[in-house]
Amino acid sequence: MSSVKKIVLAYSGGLDTSIIIPWLKENYDDPEIIAVAGNVGQADELEGLEEKALKTGASKLIVADLVDEMVDDVIIPSMKAGAKYETYLLGTAFARPVIAKSLCEIALAEGADAICHGCTGKGNDQVRFELTIKHFAPGMKIIAPWREWSIKSRDEEIDFAEAHHVPLKITRETNYSKDKNLWHLSHEGLDLEDPANEPNYDKPGFLEMGVSPTQAPDVPTYVTLTFERGVPVAINGERKKASDIIADLNVYGGQNGIGIIDIVENRLVGMKDRGVYETPGGTILYKAHELLEMICVDKDTLHEKEKLAVDFADLVYNGKWYSPLREALSAFVDKTQEYVTGTVRVKLYKGNIIPAGMTSPYSLYSENLATFDESDYNQKDAEGFINLWGLPTKVQALRAQGKLQ
C-alpha cells in the first residue's frame, strides 16, 4: 500500500466516496488523492463538491463534462438499438463507460499509481468501471474499498463519516442508495429491499425527476419528436442537440408521471435486486423511436433487430460497452436506421404515452394497400399464397391420416 503515492478517485460526493478519501489517507500511507467527478447531468449534486473534497483530504477536484459524450456515444446508439434490460432503460450503465474512460485519461495524464471507485462488491458498477479501466489503462492498479475495508453496512459508513467529521446530505432515515444522471435516477435500499413493500411515490422528496401518475395533471400534454436516421434532432419543431431534447423530455415526462418502474432485476453477480427507477425523458424517447420504426423498417429487419436488442442490452448492463461485439451490433443497428427519419407525436397522460400520429418520407405503410375500401390489392392472390404456405401443414396431416400418396 505504501507504494501507492497518487490515486485518482471516482468522486460523486455521496456516502461511499465521501468517506473513501479519509479511509484512503489512513490505509494507504497518506497518498495524494485527486477527486474526479464526471458531470453526466446530475445537476445540483455537483454543488459544493470541490469544497467538500478538499476539506476531506483531496488535493484537488476535477469535474469532467461528459454529458454530450454519454448521450451521443452511448445513450443514442443504445436507444437506436432498442436496448432494454428486463424493462430497465440502463440509466446507471449508460454513464459508467464514459466516467471510467475519463478516469483513465486523467490518471494517465496525472501520473497516478491507482484508480479508486466506491462500488460495492455486490453490484454491477464495479464490473462496468473495471472493464473500462482494463480497456483504457490495462496496467493500472484498481482500488475498491468495499472489497477491502471492515465496514459492513451503510449505517457503519455513516458512523465512519461522523467520526471523521465528513459532512453528509443524508440521514439514516433517508439513506437510499441513489444514482442520478441526465437520463435517470435510481432508488435502492431501506424499505425497497423487501419486494412486498409498495414504494411510497407520493411521499415528498422520494421522486425527484417528476411526480407519480396519481399526482399528474388531468389534462394531457402533446409532444412532437423529429428523427433523422434514428437520431432525435428536434422537439416540438425546434432543432436541438440530443442532450437538450432529453432535458426537455424530462420536464414533460416528469410533469406527467412518465417513466417510473419498480423492478426486481437479475444482477450480473448472480443475485436479484429490487430498485425503483425514474426515466421520464428516456421512456418517451424510446417509445417515439419505436413508433417511427413501425412504419419505416421492414418486418424481417425489425424482428431480427428486436432479438439482437436483448444481446445489446446485456452487453451494456454487463460492462462490455468497449467490446468488439457491441461495436459490431452498433454497425448493424446503424444500417437498420437508414430510413428511420420522420416525426412522431405522442400524448402524455398520467403515466401513459399514447401514440398520436407518425409520418415519414420513407414510410413503408400504404393506405392504398391496407384500406378496407377499394384498392389495387388483388385479394384473390391470397388463395395461391395460402395454398403454398400451408402445403407442409397439409402434407403432414395427410401422412398422419395415412392418405399421403
Position 224, amino acid: T
Of 12, 177, 243, 360, the catalytic one is: 177
Question: Is there a contact between 201 and 260 (Cβ–Cβ < 8 Å)?
Answer: yes
What secondary structure letter does DSSP report for 198?
P
> 112-128 in b/e burial notation, b at 16+ Cβ within 10 A?
bbbbbbbbbeebbbbbb
Among 16, 113, 179, 248, the one annotated catalytic = 16
Among residues 12, 102, 125, 128, which one is catalytic?
Answer: 125
Q: Cell digits for 280?
A: 421520464
**Residue type at position 167:** P
Burial (CB < 10 A; 0-12, 13-18, 19+), residue 278, is buried
Active site residue 113: no
DSSP SS3 for 213: helix
CA-derived radius of gyration, the chain? 25
Catalytic residue status for 345? no
Catalytic residue among 78, 96, 154, 186: 96
Residue 248 appears among annotated catalytic residues: no
Closest CA to 10 of 122, 130, 178, 158: 130
* Active-site annotation holds for 177: yes
d(C-alpha 145, C-alpha 127), whole Å: 14
The residues assigned a catalytic role are 16, 96, 125, 177
